[in-house]
Every structure is written in structure tokens, then in C-alpha cells.
Amino acid sequence: MHANTFDRYQAGEGLIHSLAPQVKVVLTVLFILSNVLLPDGAWLALSLAWCLVLLTSTLAGLGIGYTLKRSFVALPFALAAVTVAFNLPGQPLVKWNIGPWQLVATDAGVIRFASIVVRTWLSVQMAILLTATTRFPDLIHALNHLHIPQLLVAIISFMYRYLFILTDEAMRLMRAREARSARPMAGGGGGSVAWRARVSGNMIGQLFLRSYERSDRVYNAMLARGYSGQFLTISPHQMHTKDWAIGATAIIIMLLLQVIGRLTLQ
């Protein structure tokens, strides 16, 4: 399994890459929170927030289209909020009669739905920037610096590290299944649907048992090497003047977005 299957880090030496990882994590969370707190229909503030995302992507050397192309994958999940267009009271815009039900889309509902979609889209872009400019070990240590519960940090770290191994195990099982003609062929071979389902169930069970046994062996090996529940690093991730200055500037910009978002709706 190639490392870039799950790792989306893009190596670089720009301003964003060199920031302390804890600063990038905090700013990403604050940016998402800022989007959530913006009033519905604050299009100017949301547009400026998008400009901030594009500026950050440019400073990181990723280009304007990097986050844009990858963020559309999250839009179908945001579309699940379409029901708010019919739930909020307001001026009716469109009516649909579906059997005994009548769906009425209001202006307030449509504005809130569009605002939710835009907020989600911008937040996903900033999260993509975080993972593209920060190595995963640095993200883990940033969570430690921010005093996230150690158990949660360890779970996230192990989940990511062994996701590659579990994927390799699953691929080997699938190759073994294909070698034994469990895959249906053009002529209808490969057994019945029930038989293929039973084979798939056996594969899942084998994957679970192998994962459980491997985790036990790995944990015992880590204990034998002095693991005490804390991950160590050779990078101190110290805060410098540049990190404080950029962090403070970004916070001021997000506060200004909140002010602009509220003033434009008055």
C-alpha cells in the first residue's frame, strides 16, 4: 500500500508549511467556528472567508484550484440539510404537492440551506489545507500541545498508522478470493449470491481476527520497548514570533468577518 493512499500531505517550504502545527490546528478550528457563527445570508462575509482560503492556499504553494477540486466531495453530505428549506417560516417561494403532502420552500429556509452548504464547503476547504500542509505526526503532536486527552490522541494515531496495514490485509484477502474463483465471471460463474455473501462474511471475520491478533502483538512489543502512553518526537514544535504574529492576525481577520457579516444584514 502506497503511503499517499491516505496521506494527503504536500511537501513544501512556504510560509504556511513552516507554521507551528498547533497554530494551524487552532486557526482551522476557529475558522470553522467563525463560519458557523456567521448569520444566514451573510454573503459578503462568506465571500471574504473564501478569499482567505484562496490566499492561504496560494501562500502554501498549492494553487487556487487545489482545495476547490477536492472540496466538492463534501457537498452531497451538505445537501442533506435541504429539509430546512421547507421547515422555516417565511415568504413562500415554491410549492410542490406530493400525494397528501405539500412542500413549501420559503425564502428564509432557502437562505439558511444555501448558507449551510457554503459554510460546509468553506470549512472542508480549510480542513484540506490543514492536512495538505501538515504532516500527520505533527498533527498528533499539535493535539498533545493543545492538551487534547491523551487516550483520544493515541486512538487517532494508531487508527491512522494501522489503516495502511488493514488495507493491505483486505487486499490480500480479495486477491485470494479472486484466485479461488469467488468473483462472478461473465458466464455467471463464481457461485450464487448467497455463497458469495458467505465468502465475504468469512473474509470480514478473518480480517477482524488478524487485526485483533496483530494489535495484541504490537501492544506487547511496544510495552517491551518502554511505551508509556505518550508519543515522543525530535521536533520541539516551539512557538516563535512569526507563529504568534500570524495567529493573532488570522484571529483579527476572523473577528472582522463576524463584524462585516452582522453589519451587512442590518
Q: pLDDT tens, 217-259?
A: 878 887 887 777 666 666 667 788 888 998 999 999 999 999 9
Q: What integer pLDDT is reported at residue 249 of this predicted model?
A: 92
Q: What integer pLDDT is reported at residue 215 of this predicted model?
A: 78
Helices 107-133, 136-145: axis angle to 10 degrees equals 110
| Mean pLDDT, residues 180-203 taken together | 64
Residue 186: C-alpha distances to residues 48, 84, 151, 181, 200 (Å): 54, 46, 49, 12, 20
H-only helix segments in 146-192: 150-179
* CA separation for the pair 54, 42 (Å, rounded): 19
C-alpha cell of 144?
Answer: 498533545
Tell me: pLDDT of 3 over 60: no
Tens of pLDDT along 9-29?
777 777 888 888 889 999 999
C-alpha cell of 11?
Answer: 511537501
Return the closest-CA partner of residue 40 out of 93, 91, 88, 96.
Answer: 88
Tens of pLDDT along 120-147?
889 999 998 888 888 888 888 888 888 8
Q: Which of 37-51, 55-69, 185-199 comes out lowest in average pLDDT?
A: 185-199
Average pLDDT, the chain: 80
Domain map of the chain by residue range? Answer: 3-134+236-263, 150-224
**Radius of gyration (C-alpha) of the chain in whole angstroms:** 24
Q: At residue 184, what are phi and psi to the nearest 5 degrees?
A: -65, 135
More confident residue, 154 or 99: 154
C-alpha cell of 108?
Answer: 428564509
Residue 85 near residue 43, CB atoms below 8 Å: no
Q: Are strands 92-98 and 101-106 parallel, antiparallel or unpaired?
A: antiparallel
Q: What integer pLDDT is reported at residue 231 of this predicted model?
A: 66
3-class SS of residue 37: helix
Q: Which of 120-124, 190-194, 203-207, 256-260 comes out lowest in average pLDDT?
A: 190-194
Percent above pLDDT 70 for the chain: 87
Tens of pLDDT along 21-61?
889 999 999 999 999 999 888 899 999 999 999 898 888 88
3-class SS of residue 69: helix
Tell me: pLDDT of 190 over 70: no
The number of beta carbons lying within 10 Å of the beta carbon of residue 135 is 15
